[in-house]
Amino acid sequence: MAFTPQQAILELGSAFYDPVTPARFPQTILRFRNDRAAASVGLDGLSDVEWIAHFGRFEPLPGSLTQPLALRYHGHQFRVYNPEIGDGRGFLFAQMTDARGRLLDLGTKGSGQTPYSRFGDGRLTLKGGVREILATEMLEALGVETSKTFSLIETGEELQRNDEPSPTRSAVLVRLNHGHIRIGTFQRLAYLQEPDAIRQLTDYVLRHYYGEGPGDDAPQRLLAHVAARTARMAGQFMAAGFVHGVLNSDNINVTGESFDYGPWRFAPSWSPGFTAAYFDHAGLYAFGRQPEAIYWDVMQLASALRLIAEEEPLIEALDGFPEAFQREVAEALLWRLGVTPRGAEHDRPLVQAMERALSGTETPIDRFFFDAFGGRLPASYGEPFAELRAQLEHYRPRKRRAHDYWTDAKPCAMLIDEVEAIWAAIAADDDWTPLEAKVNAIRRMGEALA
């Protein structure tokens, strides 16, 4: 398709963002370009030289934004409100539409300091960029609505970090997102007591991301959409065995698309208390608590919308989250099992039986779904899986095990030891072949699942 630039964000006006200047880097070494994602927005035809010019030096894309914009927002971080945040090491670089007509953003991570950097250097470690490639590729293959890692360019600076060996290599990352408007964007306007701006932002989100017009019921319609989309995200996280690690309200996109990957992990087994962030001492964002955490964030959006709406319709919109989550987690789990849903009255008991069997046996999540794809458990899955086996007898496959992926000796997984090994090859020997091989393996798995 042809590149179709947009500038929709400018409709909001300067009260929502700050023009910024990208950092100038000593080097721009292209390490990863996602031509699959680029093809979806008409940018796959760029040469490597052009790619680096746009995504390493941030020369504007024709017809899109003429200057990067650091977006303004607040948010709750581990349930503590912080009015001192915003785009501190990234900015919105460009907007465009894809083949489906959706408005998409290209945003950055590690592109330099902004008015919201506080004491940070505005940079990204190369390891952080590699980890984001692995997270987004794996999540996309597992059916999660996620941002795409679009580009990673090494920048030739040595960074000091307290939580990893330093000095360490630096990079700038570009991600392709279905919008960068966060729950925290609304929270900032409520904090500043700006109801007119909240109405303006509500109408912007409804128009550009949900295809709806304004109206007196706009706040509750927006909240209902966000509740439904974030419930889907929570369900998809669980089915993927994924722990985001930092589900703060400034990290929740109002389109319900997962993004911004820091201390993420994939859980080895169905362990509700498994955490990703070493600093999450209370387990607030543990694997099994993610639906609760995301729901809590959506409640903060409801609180912000109280400035322009009555309480009762907002509560009604919020009340749709738990039921939507139950529906979405069942759909996501059955998708990963490779079977066709039969309806809530049948699917929920199946999901409960699956969760009991997995949590009671510490069976590796990836191994289980690999073995069970198509709805038939091998005989090696014994008595703890008897109830699940009986339930599965009533389901038909949505896809046969025809792809050669299913003949592999073991599933494609993304546990922390492999992540560290991929990085170690880069750090020690500048060997990028393990990363390239892993991305190819993940995409092959995605073909088998899709």
Partners of residue 346 on adjacent β-strands: none
Cis peptide before 167 (omega within 30 of 0): yes
**Count of other CB atoms within 10 angstroms of residue 49:** 8
What element of type H or E holds 93? strand 92-97
Say which of 87, 163, 203, 250 is annotated catalytic. Answer: 250
Tokens of 261: 């990957």
In the chain, the amino acid numbered 270 is W
| CA-closest candidate to residue 410, choices 370, 450, 365 | 370
What residues contact 68, with CB distance under 8 A and at least 6 apart? Answer: 19, 20, 21, 22, 58, 91, 92, 93, 108, 111
Give the residue carrying structure tokens 């066709």.
Answer: 340
DSSP designation for 397? B
DSSP letter for each residue of 101-162: --EEEEEEESS---TT-TT----EEHHHHHHHHHHHHHHHHTT--B-EEEEEEEEEEEE--T
Report the C-alpha gap between 300 and 62 in whole angstroms.
Answer: 37
DSSP letter for each residue of 409-450: SS-----HHHHHHHHHHHHHH---HHHHHHHHHHHHHHHHH-
What residues contact 335, with CB distance under 8 A and at least 6 apart? Answer: 143, 239, 398, 449
φ/ψ (deg, to 5) at 228? -65, -45
DSSP letter for each residue of 3-48: -EEE-GGGGT-GGGEEE--PPPPS--EEEEE-HHHHHTTT-TT--H
250 catalytically annotated: yes
DSSP letter for each residue of 41-83: TT-TT--HHHHHHHHTS-PPPTTS-SS-EEEB--EEETTEEET
Active-site residues, by number, are 250
